[in-house]
C-alpha cells in the first residue's frame, strides 16, 4: 500500500511540475529592446492602425476624449465578460511606470510586468507579429497621451476561466507568431498582410474560433459569429466576398459599400481608424483581401 501511495504522490508531483512548466510565463528578452528608441510621430500611425483607442477609451467617449485611455468598455464572450483596462500614461492606474520591455511583453506575449497572463480578449496573438520598432514607436506615442486616474475594473469570469495560469497552456496552442499568408509577396501584399494579420487584427472578428476560443486558422477569414451575440461577421474569402479592390479601399476610407449602404457596429470604429491612414495602406489591405484563397 505504501508503494502505491508513494507512486501516486510522485505522479501528482510530476503532473504539477509539468503543468507549471507548460504554463510558465515566457517573456521577451530585455536585450532585444535595449537601446531601441521609439518615434512618437510614427507611433501615432501604429496606434491608429492597431485600434488601441477603439477598445480602451471610456464607453461613449467622443472627440479628444478618445485619446484618454481610461478603459471600462465591456466585451461579452462565451467565457464571461472582459473589461478593457486603463492603459493611459498614469503611473499608478495605467502604464506610466512601465518600461519598454514590459510594454513589449504585454503587447506581444500577453504578460503583465508581474508575469501574469493576460486574457486573449487583448489580441496579443496578432500583435505578436509586430515589428520591434513599431512596438517601440507605439510605446513612445502612448507616453504622450493624457493620464487617467480611473482604476481598471476586474473581468467578470467564473471558474475555471478566472484562473489565469491556465492561459499559459492556451498560449502553447495559439500564440504561434507565424503568418497565415505565406510565399513570395509583393511589397504591397506584404504591407497588407502586416496590417490585416498583425496591427489591425482583422481575423479576431472575421475568423471562427474553436472550443477554447482560439482562432481556427484553417478557416481564416471565412466569417464568424458576432461577439455581441447578434448576427454574423461576414466572410472575406473570394467565394463569398466579391467586392473589387477599389470597393474595399473606398469602404475603408468612407464606410460606404458598393450597394450604397454604410458600415455599422464595430466596423464604424475600424473605418474611423483606417480613414486616417495613407491611401497606400488601404490599398494594401484591399490587395490582401483579394489574394485570400478560396476555403
Would residue 164 count as lying in a domain? Answer: yes
Summarize the confidence of residues 130-137 as an average pLDDT.
97
**pLDDT on residue 65:** 86
Pick the residue with more confidence: 295 or 87?
Answer: 87
pLDDT tier for residue 165 given thresholds of 50, 70 and 90 = confident
Would residue 18 count as lying in a domain? Answer: no
Residue range(s) defining the domain that contains residue 47 = 33-174
pLDDT tier for residue 61 given thresholds of 50, 70 and 90 = confident
161 and 37 belong to one structural domain: yes
Tell me: the pLDDT tens digits for 207-245? Answer: 999 988 899 999 999 999 887 667 789 999 999 999 999
CATH number at residue 93: 1.10.760.10
CATH number at residue 233: 1.10.760
79 and 157 belong to one structural domain: yes
Tell me: the pLDDT tens digits for 235-256? Answer: 999 999 999 999 999 999 999 9
Whether residue 103 is predicted with pLDDT greater than 80 in this model: the reply is yes
Whole-angstrom distance, CA of residue 42 vs CA of residue 212: 36
Would residue 88 count as lying in a domain? Answer: yes
Ranking 67-81, 113-127, 175-189 by mean pLDDT, the lowest is 67-81
Would residue 160 count as lying in a domain? Answer: yes
Ranking 9-23, 47-61, 66-80, 177-191 by mean pLDDT, the lowest is 9-23
CB proximity list for 252: less than 8 A, separation 6 or greater: 270, 271, 274, 275, 282, 285, 286
Let me know how long the chain is: 295
Burial class (CB in 10 A: 0-12, 13-18, 19+), 16: exposed
Question: The C-alpha cell of 219 is what?
Answer: 478557416
259 and 234 belong to one structural domain: yes
Summarize the confidence of residues 86-96 as an average pLDDT.
95
Summarize the confidence of residues 265-279 as an average pLDDT.
92
**pLDDT on residue 4:** 57
Contact between 148 and 93 under an 8 Å Cβ cutoff? The reply is yes
Percentage of residues of the chain with pLDDT beyond 90: 64
Overall domain count for the chain: 2
Whether residue 193 is predicted with pLDDT greater than 90 in this model: the reply is yes
Helix (H, G, I), strand (E, B) or coil at 225: strand
**pLDDT on residue 128:** 97
Whether residue 2 is predicted with pLDDT greater than 80 in this model: the reply is no
- Is the Cα dihedral 107, 111, 112, 114 positive or negative? negative
40 and 160 belong to one structural domain: yes
**pLDDT on residue 12:** 43
Whole-angstrom distance, CA of residue 211 vs CA of residue 173: 12
47 and 130 belong to one structural domain: yes
pLDDT tier for residue 9 given thresholds of 50, 70 and 90 = very low
Summarize the confidence of residues 23-42 as an average pLDDT.
83
147 and 50 belong to one structural domain: yes
Would residue 226 count as lying in a domain? Answer: yes
42 and 166 belong to one structural domain: yes
The average confidence (pLDDT) of the chain is 89
pLDDT tier for residue 22 given thresholds of 50, 70 and 90 = low
Whole-angstrom distance, CA of residue 54 vs CA of residue 245: 25
Would residue 5 count as lying in a domain? Answer: no
Whether residue 21 is predicted with pLDDT greater than 90 in this model: the reply is no
**pLDDT on residue 272:** 93
Would residue 57 count as lying in a domain? Answer: yes
Residue at grid coordinates 498614469:
90
- Domain end, chosen from 152, 174, 196, is at 174
Contact between 226 and 233 under an 8 Å Cβ cutoff? The reply is yes
219 and 253 belong to one structural domain: yes
Amino acid at each position: 500500500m505504501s508503494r502505491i501511495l508513494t507512486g501516486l504522490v510522485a505522479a501528482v508531483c510530476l503532473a504539477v511540475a509539468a503543468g507549471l512548466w507548460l504554463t510558465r510565463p515566457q517573456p521577451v528578452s530585455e536585450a532585444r529592446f535595449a537601446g531601441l528608441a521609439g518615434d512618437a510621430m510614427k507611433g501615432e500611425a501604429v496606434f491608429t492602425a492597431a485600434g488601441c483607442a477603439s477598445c480602451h477609451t471610456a464607453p461613449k467617449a467622443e472627440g479628444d476624449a478618445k485619446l484618454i485611455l481610461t478603459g471600462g468598455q465591456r466585451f461579452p464572450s462565451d467565457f464571461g465578460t472582459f473589461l478593457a483596462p486603463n492603459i493611459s500614461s498614469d503611473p499608478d492606474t495605467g502604464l506610466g511606470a512601465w518600461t519598454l520591455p514590459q510594454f513589449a511583453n504585454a503587447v506581444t506575449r500577453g504578460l503583465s510586468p508581474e508575469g501574469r497572463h493576460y486574457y486573449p480578449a487583448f489580441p496579443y496573438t496578432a500583435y505578436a507579429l509586430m515589428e520591434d520598432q513599431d512596438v517601440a514607436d507605439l510605446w513612445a506615442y502612448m507616453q504622450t497621451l493624457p493620464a487617467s486616474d480611473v482604476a481598471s475594473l476586474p473581468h467578470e469570469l467564473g471558474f475555471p476561466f478566472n484562473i489565469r495560469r491556465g492561459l499559459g497552456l492556451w498560449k502553447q496552442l495559439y500564440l504561434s507568431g507565424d503568418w497565415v499568408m505565406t510565399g513570395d509577396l509583393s511589397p504591397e501584399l506584404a504591407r497588407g498582410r502586416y496590417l490585416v494579420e498583425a496591427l489591425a487584427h482583422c481575423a479576431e472578428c472575421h475568423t471562427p474560433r474553436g472550443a477554447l476560443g482560439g482562432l481556427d486558422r484553417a478557416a481564416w477569414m471565412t466569417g464568424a459569429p458576432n461577439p455581441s451575440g447578434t448576427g454574423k461577421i461576414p466572410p472575406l474569402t473570394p467565394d463569398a466576398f466579391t467586392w473589387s479592390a477599389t470597393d474595399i479601399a473606398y469602404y475603408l476610407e468612407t464606410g460606404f459599400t458598393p450597394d450604397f449602404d454604410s458600415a455599422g457596429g464595430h466596423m464604424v470604429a475600424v473605418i474611423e481608424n483606417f480613414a486616417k491612414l495613407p491611401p497606400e495602406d488601404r490599398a494594401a489591405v484591399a490587395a490582401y483581401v483579394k489574394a485570400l484563397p478560396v476555403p
